[in-house]
Amino acid sequence: MLNRRIIPCLLLENEKLVKTIKFKTPKYIGDPINAVKIYNDKEVDEIIFLDITATIKNTKPPFKLISEIANECFMPFAYGGGINNVEDMKKIFSLGVEKIIINSNAIKNPNIIKEAMELFGSQSIIVSIDAKKNWAGKYEVFSECGKKSTGLDPVEWSKKVEKLGAGEIFLTSIEKDGTMEGYDLDLIQKVANKVNIPVIACGGAGEIKDFSKAIKFGASAVAAGSLFVYQGKNMGVLINFPTKEQIKSIEGMGQSIIMKIPQKEEIKKIVDDDFI
């Protein structure tokens, strides 16, 4: 059986690695290229990079850094942050990225999901959804790194992005982010039960058994940040990842259909070689 995906999710701020708690107070972790080298050695199958300031500052994605990451990465990786249009996507794909992650700009212009799907295929498009409970105790989608209330219900928004052609949903609990207290299982279940595309759960993983819980509540894959960059009670910075033996021991991590990740050669057929 194929294993369900366990994905390190690394945050970028000014081209440096940081980690947040509840989307606030970014703490410097280290150099992204060094982290990639370590994850190469640990034979990680997939990795995610999210620039947490590009959209807020209305800046372009860090194309040079993305290219450097792609050249160093032995594994497929996805990138999100500051992606405003399909031209940005074309350039990012041409640099060697396998999947694009869109969030705030998908909320502003939902049709970009359909446009991207038609150009690159749904398997290349991930829609990121950041959610937390509002003052009324109901889950709500927030954009711009959790700073802007949208009024959108995460379940209804998930159904819409699926209909528009998203291949996956990257679902993050803002309230759980960086706490290492476990995933928001209720949020995962609510969304996963209403869509047919894979849901990647993120936010709150504190130990590897949390992965099993997220899977049981409907997640198709699990992502984590703090668990893979901190070590011990004092949370010293140490890039880490569970061994294959540890992954095999996690209940529920088998029996999964993993979406085909397009290879770089396939992406190049889609992207205009003269675009850059």
Pick from 179, 177, 255, 248: nearest CA to 216 = 255
pLDDT in tens, 119-152: 999 999 999 999 999 999 999 999 999 999 999 9
Measured in degrees and rounded to the nearest 5, phi and psi for residue 152 equal -85, 140
Torsion of CA 163, 120, 49, 206, to 10 degrees: 40
Q: Report if residue 19 sits inside a domain.
A: yes
Q: Report if residue 240 sits inside a domain.
A: yes
pLDDT of residue 263: 42
Separation CA 226–CA 206 (nearest Å) = 8
pTM value is 0.90
Q: Using only the alpha carbons of the chain, give its radius of gyration.
A: 17
pLDDT of residue 264: 40
pLDDT of residue 4: 82
38 by Cβ neighbours in 10 Å (0-12 / 13-18 / 19+) ranks as middle
Residue 19: beta bridge partners?
27
Residue 217 clears pLDDT 90, i.e. is over it = yes
pLDDT of residue 260: 37
Separation CA 176–CA 173 (nearest Å) = 5
Q: Report if residue 189 sits inside a domain.
A: yes
261 by Cβ neighbours in 10 Å (0-12 / 13-18 / 19+) ranks as middle
Provide the number of structural domains found in the chain: 1
More confident residue, 245 or 275: 245
Q: Report if residue 117 sits inside a domain.
A: yes
pLDDT of residue 65: 98
Instruction: Kindly tell me the sign of the dihedral angle through the C-alpha atoms of 141, 28, 42, 123.
Output: positive
% of the chain surpassing 90 pLDDT = 83
Q: In this structure, which amino acid lies at residue 242?
A: P
pLDDT in tens, 83-122: 999 999 999 999 999 999 999 999 999 999 999 999 999 9
Q: Report if residue 262 sits inside a domain.
A: no
Q: Which domain holds residue 91?
A: 5-252
- The overall average pLDDT reported for the chain is 90
Q: Report if residue 214 sits inside a domain.
A: yes
Q: What is the CATH number of the domain that holds 129?
A: 3.20.20.70
Write the CA distances from 261 to 83, 120, 155, 240, integer angstroms. Answer: 20, 12, 25, 24
The yes-or-no answer on residue 130 being catalytic is: yes
Choose, from 51, 130, 177, 184, the residue flagged as catalytic: 130
Q: Which helix (H) or strand (E) holds 267?
A: helix 264-270
